Amino acid sequence: MRSNISAFLGGLLFAIGLGISGMTNPANVLGFLDIAGDWDFRLAFVMGGAIAVHAALRPLIHKRERPLFAAKFPSLSASGVDRKLLVGAGLFGVGWGLGGYCPGPALTSLATGATQLLVFVPAMFAGMYLAQVLQTRRRASEGTSRLGASPAS
């Protein structure tokens, strides 16, 4: 229960920060992406602030034996840049550039009832679902091909 409350409060703080910084307005985001035109630098300060807070707090948090609301810290595997990462990042960037929203601001702005969000958010969830289905199928086919492979001589 405490982890759900913590997640809710963290999400609420994130949503408030997005609103205060103006990043729920796609014009601000698209202005940041328009480096050849009338570039809007404010998103760089928002990202810089987030990175600064993370950089300051991460060492303090990891001095703890375990997180406040979990049994242990997640183990993060450091994997290299691969095709899946590049394709995913490219699709994310194209969606962000076309819509002016990334997932957090899109969900936060959904309360406005803007028509473009009523299209964007379901399309975003459909894309997430499709990615999950494709990944599950790929894993299943890899498992099947390994089962049928003959042992090396």
Model confidence over 29-87: pLDDT tens digits? Answer: 888 888 898 888 888 898 899 899 999 999 998 899 888 888 888 887 777 888 888 98
> What is the sign of the dihedral through the CA atoms of 35, 39, 40 and 44?
positive
Residue 153 has pLDDT above 50, yes or no: no
Between helix 115-148 and helix 83-99 the angle, nearest 10°, is: 170
Q: Specify the range with the lowest mean pLDDT, choosing from 51-65, 102-116, 133-147.
A: 133-147
Q: Give pTM, 2 decimals.
A: 0.63
Nearest of 95, 92, 116 to residue 25 by alpha carbon: 116
Alpha helices in the chain (DSSP H): 2-21, 26-33, 42-61, 83-99, 103-109, 115-148
